Structure formats: C-alpha cells, structure tokens
Amino acid sequence: MISNASSTEAHGADAQPNVLLDDFLAYTLALQQPAHTGAAAQGSCAQGQLRWVWLDDGVLQLGPVHTTCTTPSVLLSAGIHGDETAPLELLSRLVSDLAAGRATLACRLLVVLGNIGAMRAARRYLDDDLNRLFSGGYAEVPASREASRAAALEEAARQFFTAAQVAHPRGSRWHLDLHTAIRPSVFEQFALLPHTRTPVAPALVAWLGAARIAAVLLHTTKSRTYSHFSAQTCQARACTLELGQVRPFGQNDLTHFAATDTALRDLLAGYSPAAGAEGSPRVPRVFTVIDQITKHSEAFELLVAADVPNFTPFPQGTVLARDGAYRYVVQHEQERLVFPNPGVKPGLRAGLLVIEAPREALFALPGPAVSA
Ligand SMILES: [Zn+2]
C-alpha cells in the first residue's frame, strides 16, 4: 500500500504537476497564472471526480463533474483584507484537500482570495478598504488600486450565481466571507449578517451554530461589503465571519479554526447541520447595530483604550468619541463597541454600537435602525 504518494500523482494523469491546486495561496501570491488561458486553465482532479477552472488571479472554481438542479453553489472568500492571513491558509488547504480527494465536494465552489496586492505587502489594503467598495462603491474611487479588484470580484460572484440560477435553480446559494479581526473580542468568533430586508435563512443560522460562532451581528443599514453584495444582488445566504485575531503568514495556529474548518467541509460535502437535528441547534447570541461613530475630521479622538476588545460594554452616559463639536455619548442602558478604529479616513465609520437582541430577531423581518 502506497501511503506517501505525492499529491501531484493524486490529481491523476490529466493534471499537470499542479502547484495551482496544491498550494493555491502560494501560487496566487507569486502572481503565477496558467500558461494559457482557456483550455489550459482548467482540468480535472480528485481522481476525475472534480473539474477545476482558474478564472482570474486568486479566483478558482471547483465542482463535481456530475451536478443536478439541486446542486448548491458556495462562494468562499478570504483576504478581502490583505493582512488577514489565517483564513487564506485555511482555504488554500481546503482546495488542496478537495483536489487530492481528501475532502468531499458535493457543490459548486468558487474560491476567492481577495486583495492580492495588499497580501503581498502584508497590509490591510493599499489605497482603500476593499470591503467598502462593493455594490458599485469602486466607481467613486476610480484611481484606487482596490477599485478594479472590487469590480472584478463582484463580476466573479455575479457570474457564478447567475450560472447557478440557470443550471441549478433549486440549489441553495451561499457566500461565507472569512476575516480575522484587528483586535481581541469578547466573543472571539462572530458573524456579521448583511441587511437585505429578508429574514435570515434558518440553514445559515444552523451552520453558524455548527461552526461555534458565538455571536451574530445584524446590520440595520446597507453596506458596501462583499457579503452584502452577494446577499443583495445574488440572493445568497451570506455573511462576514470574524474568526479571531490577525497574525502574519505562517504564524497562525489553524487548529484554532478547527470548528469553522469542519463546518465548511461539512457544508461542501453536502451535510446539513439542521437536518436530523431534532433538538434546538446551537444558536449564537444576537446583536443589532443601533448607531455608529463617524470620524468627521483629523481632530477625531476615540476615548477608549487602543486595545479595547470588540463587544466591550459601556454604560449609559459614557462619552466614547469627540471630534470638534461632535460627541458620541452612550444612550442605551448599555452599548457594546465593535470595530473601533480611529485610523480610518474622515467621513468613514470609526466604530459600531450594538445592543443585544432576542434570538428570535434572527428569524424576524429586520426593520429600520432603532433610533438611539
Ligand atoms: Zn477583515
């Protein structure tokens, strides 16, 4: 019995020695591309069970050779912020395992490694935060190095899900956008659900529970994130996942992400956490956004410790920020601060304020923002 066959052999005779599939992250970071686009940019793997197509730098589609009208379509993205390395390593390992037949793929999968220029520079972004440029936001900053990438990634998602609508009309559509946070968090792993005026799919809530996501944050306004775009425009079950703290490449302990990794692999293999679970599935705590702190000018001051964890609660009356005549004062009995970041550009969000909501809020039709 050959137990140490190289992974190249595992791809079968129809694939060239394939660093593309063995280490898609390294391939992408090296700015490698298939020698010829078109026929040479695709092939089969997993002993002929799967087809792969390289679509663009950092954009790879995989799927079973045989699909049906109920085959789901799953978009997994990471590195939309270039310095959020662990999810990139996680997705790259997943691609390698699928291609070698070590993991099962029962759905169409689009893997997107987001901001490659920023990854190579070990930065969050080069000119503009890519996750503020979707839903057409890129048109407002045409000179930005992130603008063309936002447009390209929108188009990749649109084409992927449009094709699903035609060929797999009864298949579910998912988009999980994987991030790591800049700072520690009271809830180490949490999800942000976009505001689309439709109730959250129970299957998504069940998946979040299976992935041990401790808290869910419900947006109450539209945003220009990648997951908002795919939820709004492509009707995908979409969310942004915050999976822990940022570390440089190679310094991530992927065992820390084991629950997410397992839940992702189960989703791709076609196991549904809701199916068969008669008892109530693990449901995350739910928070809704009630306000934001806006940076108006360079005089802006955030009046909290620089390393304050996400979801830290503050009592009514606390002054959290000031900027000229502007003050942010906590209005509710308690408000929790998420994503405080005084380093953003003037005019942008320097922090979100959330309050806890009953879990039923997950399944209710979201309304407009609660006035503070
Ligand atoms: Zn991020």
**Is 34 contained in some domain?**
no
Q: Are 352 and 339 in contact (CB under 8 A)?
A: yes
Region for 226 from its dihedrals, namely left if φ exceeds 0, alpha if ψ lies in -120 to 50, beta otherwise = alpha
Residues 79 and 221 in one domain: yes
**What mean pLDDT, rounded, does the chain reach?**
88
**Is 368 contained in some domain?**
no
Residues 265 and 297 in one domain: no
pLDDT at 243: 93
**Is 94 contained in some domain?**
yes
- Asked whether residue 170 carries a pLDDT value surpassing 60, the answer given is yes
Angstrom distance (rounded) from CA 94 to CA 105:
10
Ligand 1 centroid, distance to 21 Cα (angstroms): 25
- Asked whether residue 366 carries a pLDDT value surpassing 60, the answer given is no
**Active-site option among 154, 188, 242, 335:** 242
- Asked whether residue 8 carries a pLDDT value surpassing 80, the answer given is no
Mean pLDDT, rounded, for 243-266: 84
Residues 145 and 196 in one domain: yes
Which tens digit of pLDDT belongs to each residue from 335-353?
A: 999 999 999 889 888 999 9
Mean pLDDT, rounded, for 355-364: 85
**Is 32 contained in some domain?**
no
**Is 105 contained in some domain?**
yes
Ligand 1 centroid, distance to 81 Cα (angstroms): 5
Residues 186 and 81 in one domain: yes
pLDDT at 281: 58
- Report the candidate in 140, 221, 223, 139 with the shortest Cα–Cα distance to residue 177: 223
pLDDT at 156: 98
Ligand 1 centroid, distance to 217 Cα (angstroms): 15
**Is 18 contained in some domain?**
no
Angstrom distance (rounded) from CA 208 to CA 214:
8
pLDDT at 10: 38
Mean pLDDT, rounded, for 215-226: 92
Q: What is the H or E stretch that residue 338 is in? A: strand 334-338
42 to 2, 20, 38, 84, 321: CA distances (angstroms) = 28, 11, 7, 28, 52
Q: State both tokens at 24.
A: 């898609």
- Per the structure, the count of domains in the chain is 2
Residues 225 and 89 in one domain: yes
Residues 121 and 156 in one domain: yes
Q: 242 catalytic, yes or no?
A: yes
Lowest mean pLDDT among 3-17, 201-215, 266-280, 339-353: 3-17
Q: What is the distance of C-alpha 281 from the center of its chain? A: 22
Ligand 1 centroid, distance to 180 Cα (angstroms): 6
Residues 240 and 102 in one domain: yes
Phi, psi (degrees; rounded to nearest 5) at 185: -145, 145
Residues 231 and 142 in one domain: yes
Kindly report the CATH number assigned to the domain that includes residue 85.
3.40.630.10
* pLDDT level of residue 363 (50, 70, 90 thresholds): confident
Mean pLDDT, rounded, for 114-125: 97
Judge residue 317's burial from the number of C-beta atoms within 10 Å of its C-beta, 0-12 exposed, 13-18 middle, 19 or more buried: exposed
Q: What is the distance of C-alpha 306 from the center of its chain? A: 25
User: What residues make up the domain containing 81?
Assistant: 40-269
Residues 93 and 222 in one domain: yes
- Asked whether residue 6 carries a pLDDT value surpassing 50, the answer given is no
Residues 211 and 76 in one domain: yes
Ligand 1 centroid, distance to 84 Cα (angstroms): 6
Mean pLDDT, rounded, for 312-321: 97
**Is 278 contained in some domain?**
no
Which tens digit of pLDDT belongs to each residue from 292-315?
A: 999 999 999 999 998 899 999 999
Ligand 1 centroid, distance to 190 Cα (angstroms): 12
Kindly report the CATH number assigned to the domain that includes residue 356.
2.40.50.630
Higher confidence at residue 267 or residue 348?
A: 267
Ligand 1 centroid, distance to 227 Cα (angstroms): 12
Residues 264 and 297 in one domain: no
* pLDDT level of residue 361 (50, 70, 90 thresholds): confident
Q: Are 190 and 214 in contact (CB under 8 A)?
A: yes
**Buried residues in 156-176 as b, exposed as e (16+ CB within 10 A):** bbeebbeebeeebeebbbbbb
Ligand 1 centroid, distance to 278 Cα (angstroms): 35
Domain finish residue from 234, 269, 304: 269
Ligand 1 centroid, distance to 179 Cα (angstroms): 4
**Is 245 contained in some domain?**
yes
Residues 148 and 254 in one domain: yes
